Amino acid sequence: MHIAERFEVLLAAYPHADGRTWSGQEIDDATGGVVTRSYVTNLRKGRIENPGYEKLRAIAKALGFPPEVWFDEDLQWGQDARMEPTRERAGIAEKVAHLMQMPGEQMTGKAYTDADVARLSFGDLGEKDVEAIRTGTLHNPSVDQITALADVFGVHPSYFLKRVEKPALLDREAMEIFRDETVSAIAHKSLRLPDRERQMILNIIRQFEGLHEDDDGA
């Protein structure tokens, strides 16, 4: 779904206090000019395909929905897109820095470098882009940059917009999973599949697990 279509769905799901759809001027006023009336118009008309994080967050705050809803894969026309808001603490820079502390994909046990992330983005991110996002110098990464980061680390883009206290720490088992190239590849590929197909993969793995248990008991 195009970002303009998502915006229309969210405008319908989170109307103004009097029941009307928010006007561009009202969003302009509610965001303190961060999102101008003309920006709203261009976003609705599909002229803006890659809005920055600060714009998305400002609109979300004004309309009253969690920022991660922008990336909800199940968002569609006629759907109740409402979600319960939670407290926002950890920012994008902190989350990226946390993910980069995980072992790299070459089983070295070392954390990711800016160069590693840039290389794994296959040209979508430059090394300086990664550094700027990680350090908070670039406080307004675009949708494309957020999506590229999500692809590198195998997380959903909404991870970077979720309102959480702080990123969850990975336990030892999770660290071992990321060190295993095959397991990591399965996780990354499965992430992009619909829930039904992911469940099918899980069922297949459980069948193999059952076969090995039978062999052990023989």
Contact 27, 35 (CB under 8 A): yes
124-179 pLDDT, tens digit per residue, is 999 999 999 999 888 778 888 988 898 888 887 777 766 544 444 444 455 455 55
Q: Check: CATH 3.30.460 for 3-71?
A: no
Q: Look up the CATH architecture of domain 92-173.
A: Orthogonal Bundle (1.10)
Contact 146, 125 (CB under 8 A): no
Distance CA 60, CA 31 (A): 10
What does pTM read for this prediction?
0.49
Tell me what the mean pLDDT of segment 181-192 comes to. 65
Contact 177, 105 (CB under 8 A): no
Tell me what the mean pLDDT of segment 99-124 comes to. 78
33-46 pLDDT, tens digit per residue, is 999 999 999 999 99
